[in-house]
Each structure stands twice: as C-alpha cells, then as structure tokens.
Amino acid sequence: MTRIVIDPITRIEGHLRIEATVDGGAVNDAWSASTMFRGMELVLRNRDPREAWLYAQRICGVCTTVHALASVRAVEDAIGARPPINARLLRNIIAGTQYIQDHIVHFYHLHAFDWVDAVAATKADPAATARLAQSISAWPQSSAGYFKGIRDKVKAVIGSGQPSLFANGYWGHPSYRLAPEANLLLVAHYLEALEWQREIVRVQAIIGGKNPHPQTYLVGGMAIPIDPNSQAALNMERFDQIRGLIERAKAFVEQVYVPDSLLLAAHYPEWFTYGAGHRTYMTYGDFAEPSSDISAYRFARGIVRPARGMHVESLDQNKIAEYVTRSWYAYPNEKAPLHPWEGLTDPKYTGPNPPYDFLDVDEKYSWSKAPRYAGEPMETGPLARLLVSYASGRPEVKKAADGALGTLKIPLASTLGRVVARALETQLMSGWLIEWLDQLIANVGTGDLRIHDGTFWEPSSWPGDCQGWGSHEGPRGSLGHWIRIKNEKIENYQAVVPTTWNASPRDANGVRGPYEAALIGTPVVDPARPIEILRTIHSFDPCMACAVHVLDLSGRQIVRVDADRGAGW
C-alpha cells in the first residue's frame, strides 16, 4: 500500500492537506486536514452586532459579499428586522454576480488544469481548433488566426521559463484525455475568462462602492440610495449599466462556460462514476424574491439522500451540530457535538510539530470541526442544490438538469457531476439576475424607493437578549452564521462555512467527512503525481477561507507530494 500526502492542495483558497492510502491503483482511505487555525469568530465577540458584517466579510477575501450577507441576515433574524424588497433584490443581484464570477474562476483558473494539458495545447492545429469551437458554440472569437495567436502566446510563456500560471501542472500525465485542439480551446478560454472577470465585478462596484470590499450592507436593508432623479443614487442610467454587464455575462456563460463544461464531460465519462461519497445532500435554500417565503426559494431547502429515494426531508437548523472529537479544539465533552449557538472555539493543538511526515490520523488531525446534520455528514454546494431543487420539483432546475442529463445520460452524484451542476446553476443564475433587475426597476417605478427599514436600528428596540441564524446559499454551498446578543453586544458568533461541511474530518463515530468519503475508490495511476485526487477535491471548490496572507520570502518549498511506497502500510 502507498501513502500519499498532498500539502497543500494548490489552486484553492487557503490551506488543505490530504493524506490518502492507495492500494491496487485506487484510494482506499483518506483524511482531510485543515492545517491552519482560523478562529476568526473570536474577533467578533463583544462588538456591536450592527458592525458584525464589516468584520465577517474579512473572513475570506474571495467570499466577502457572501459572509456580509449571512452576517446581516443573522442579526436581522435575531432582532426581527425586515429589509425592504428593494434591498433584498439588490442583495440578490450582488450575490448572483458573485456566483457567476466565482464559478467561472473556479472552472477555468482553479479546476481546468486537472483536465486540460496546457503543454499539449501548444501542439494543436489552429484550424482544427476553430472547427471544434464553431461546432459547439456560436461564440465569435473562434477563428484559426485567433487560436494561432493564443497557441504562440502560450508557447512563448511556457518556453520562457518565467514564473507563470502554467508553472505548476502534471503536464503529460497519462490521465489527460483531451486532443491538443480541445486543450487549446480551453486554454484560450482560460485567458478570456481572466479578461472577462475584470468586467463582471463592475456590477458590485456600482452597487457596493468602488472599494473592493463592499460598503453598502446595512442591518435592515442596504446603504445605497435609489432615486431615478438623482445622479448620486442608483438611477436608470446605473440600472442600464448593470443590465449591460449581466447580459454580457450571460452570453459568456451560455456560449463559453457551459459548452466547455459539457466538452469536458463528454471526454471524461468515467469521472461520472468516481467521487460520489456519502450521497447525502443538504441545502439551506435561498432566493425567494419577490416573495419572502421559504417555500418560494428558487434553490429549495432540504435534505436528500438519493440512495434512499428522492424524498426531500425538511431542514431544521436545530439539528446542526459540530463535533471536535477529531479536531484540534477542546469541548467539555469531546464525544458530544455542539449546536453553533452553543459553539466553542477553544483551540488546543495536539498534532505533530512541523516539519512532520504524517499526521496521526487515529487522533485529532484537523483545524476543521466536523459539522453533522442529525448526526450525518452532508455534502453542500452546487450538486446538493441541483439535487434538492430537482427533487423538490423546481421547474427551472428540472428543465436545466434534464437537458444536461438527456445530453450526457449520466448520474450526477460524482466528481464531474459537481462540475456540470455548477455550470448549470450559473446559467440559471444569469437568467435570474435579469429577472431581479426587472423586478427592482418595476418596483422603483411604482414610487417605492425604500432601501432600509430603521424600525429596529436602535438597540433599545431589540427584544433584549436574543439569538439569530443567517443562512445563505453561497457559490460554494450552504453558509450559516449564528449569533447570540447579550446586553446589546455579540456574546457568541459562529460561522459554519460550506467547506467546513465538505472538508470535515471524522466525527465521534468515526464517520468520514464528504471529501474523505468521495476519495474512496478514486483511481491513482501514479502516486507521485496524484492528479486524480486533485480532480475530486477540486470538484467541491474548496475554500478553506483562512486566507492568512503572508508573503513568504524565505523560499521554503512548501508544496510537497510524498509517496511513501510500502513501509508498514
């Protein structure tokens, strides 16, 4: 048996270490370890709850708006504030553009090179690449001359030996399956997506302010005025700008991202048989607007276990609890999980002193807690959303999934199923963005310019000591913030992020977390270059969200793949 360590997993946000044992060419056990303490919730204690989002949005640089939204919702839930419809629609528009940006960046810049060989792309025939591009999409940038230019550029970058985004890759690995032309097409779109993402973030700049960190959230609404007759407010001119940006994003999603995802799917069919894991899926649900009723969520709320049928169990957040039995934290009772309102963040590292070869995976081995729903691990994210919404009979989701399933004839519970689900929901989201903008303009047209409800702004209006839960379906999955307020200050604050669900270690019963379970059975052709493990882990879009950001000038080699062949395993 071979033991593999990948630390850190590259092309993700934050720190993740995977240890796995490989036998007979496939993973037979795996451990997912978050190797950096976060504990940022501690920073929020004793602050004014109305400021919580300002700090919460700093939990992760990639998910600023996602945490800001969950945070204001948690406080609003606790104190009973109700944001007006204009504010809720604006929040949706920010959230929706975040989906589109995140998913496209994930597909091209974090995940594509698990499937696409950038070096092989330099051997492509530009004319054949143009024919391939035109056969799957009407996207205009598809001439032989265009692809020749890209090919020459990539050749020059790789040939220069300079550090580049193409520096790290298992180029030439036998698990790459695409023809040179498909590789070149995807590399070209990798570059186009880099350019394109500069544009979509302008929606957030128009609504959220020029600073990269949004300034416009507010407990009870938003802090940006809407007034069709004012240059200093959101007016028709700005709405038109937003519409233009959304429509261009929609075209990119439909003509570039979705066809490219299906191209990958068609060339790697066996990856619809690997990587499923526990097959237990959870969503908090989101996006009811214009309704504010949970039953109107476009992404439905609930639990689905396809192995036991497509019945949707309703979700009760009181059944969520986190174990630390195998995590580097102390609880009064290490075997019992705690609900986030009672949650403790009491770090107690008992792992080996670095540098070390292996973690002691029979003991505590991760800084991630192990959230469970009624004791069960749950996968969260695009695949969970698609399955729960499908099983709940959401017509738009059914139509999108049936279209893809009909085309591909594939089971979605798998590594590539996550990739396809992510692309399909991005397409849905780009349509919803236009609907939300239309709803906003129509409502403003009735003369309703309300953007904030200050009824519960003053702490004297709050129901004394109280607690709340703010949920959001973020791009990476179900995000929950739990807050307890005492004497008008934050007494306790806990964020359970999507990646905590997915990357969790084992619990008190020894049950694996979703990554760990998904890796079982994943083939590994060459233990020194375990690209297959990256495929399954990256398919979840990990965001360890610790975002410690220190420039490391000491030149330490930190990326390490260890394949310890034999030796006692």
Binding residues (CB under 8 A) for other proteins: these are 8, 10, 13, 15, 37-40, 42-43, 54-55, 58-62, 64, 105, 109, 157, 162-165, 167-168, 191, 194-195, 197-199, 201-202, 211-213, 547-559
Q: How far is the CB of 472 from other proteins (least distance, A)?
A: 19
What is the distance between the alpha carbons of residues 328 and 322, in angstroms, rounded to a whole number?
A: 13
At its nearest, how many Å lie between other proteins and the CB of residue 6? Answer: 13
Residue closer to other proteins by CB (options 40, 533) is 40
| CB closer to other proteins out of 37 and 146 | 37
Closest to other proteins by CB, 229 vs 353, is 353
> In sequence order, what are the beta bridge partners of 561?
6
d(CA 432, CA 473): 15
**Shortest distance (Å) from residue 18 CB to other proteins:** 15
Least distance from C-beta 336 to other proteins, angstroms? 25
Based on CB atoms, which residue is closest to other proteins, 446 or 554? 554
State the burial class of residue 190 (Cβ atoms within 10 Å of its Cβ: 0-12, 13-18, 19+): buried
Smallest separation, CB 200 to other proteins (Å) = 9
In degrees and rounded to multiples of 5, residue 5 shows phi and psi of -125, 130
Query: Looking at beta carbons only, is 89 or 547 nearer to other proteins?
Result: 547
Q: How far is the CB of 198 from other proteins (least distance, A)?
A: 4
Q: Which is nearer to other proteins, 199 or 254 (CB)?
A: 199
- Closest to other proteins by CB, 17 vs 301, is 17
Q: Which is nearer to other proteins, 553 or 567 (CB)?
A: 553
Q: Residue 371 belongs to what H/E stretch?
A: strand 370-373
Q: What is the DSSP string of 205-224?
A: HHHH-SSSS---EETTEESS
Closest CB to other proteins among 198 and 409?
A: 198
Rounded to an integer, what distance in angstroms lies between the CA atom of residue 111 and that of residue 108?
6
d(Cα 103, Cα 100) in Å, to the nearest integer?
Answer: 5
Closest-CA residue to 369 (of 397, 318, 331, 417): 331
Q: Smallest gap, in angstroms, from Cβ of residue 352 to other proteins?
A: 18
Q: Choose between 18 and 440: whose C-beta lies nearer to other proteins.
A: 18
- Dist CA 1 CA 168 (whole Å): 27
Q: Please give the biggest Cα pair distance in the chain.
A: 75
Q: How far apart are CA 8 and CA 10, in angstroms?
A: 6
- CA pair distance 130, 132, nearest whole angstrom: 5
Cα–Cα distance between 294 and 283 in angstroms, integer?
12
Q: How far is the CB of 350 from other proteins (least distance, A)?
A: 18
Residue 207 beta carbon to other proteins: minimum distance, rounded to whole angstroms: 15
Dist CA 424 CA 437 (whole Å): 21
Residue number, 41 or 507, with CB nearest to other proteins: 41
d(CA 111, CA 349): 32
What's the rounded Cα separation, in Å, for the pair 440 and 86?
6
- Tell me how far apart the terminal alpha carbons of the chain are, to the nearest angstrom: 5
CB of 42 to other proteins, least distance (A): 5
**Torsions phi, psi of 341, nearest 5?**
-65, -30
Question: Angle at the Cα of 19 (from 375 to 60), degrees rounded to 5?
Answer: 70
Sequence-distant (6+) residues with CB within 8 A of 521 are 26, 27, 28, 274
Q: Contact 18/9 with Cβ under 8 angstroms?
A: yes
Q: What are phi and psi of 331, to 5 degrees?
A: -120, 155
Residue reference for tokens 């214009």: 290
Q: Is 360 helix (H, G, I), strand (E, B) or coil?
A: coil
CB of residue 551 to other proteins, shortest distance in Å: 4
| CB nearer to other proteins: pick between 401 and 534 | 534
Compute the least distance from the CB of residue 65 to other proteins, in Å.
Answer: 11
What is the rounded radius of gyration, in angstroms, for the C-alpha atoms of the chain?
23
CB of 107 to other proteins, least distance (A): 13
Query: What is the rounded CA–CA span in Å between residue 214 and residue 404?
Result: 36
**Residues 5 and 560 sit within 8 Å (Cβ to Cβ):** yes
Q: Which is nearer to other proteins, 282 or 531 (CB)?
A: 531
Q: Which is nearer to other proteins, 266 or 558 (CB)?
A: 558
Q: How far is the CB of 61 from other proteins (least distance, A)?
A: 3
Residue (of 153, 135, 235) closest to 194 by Cα position: 153
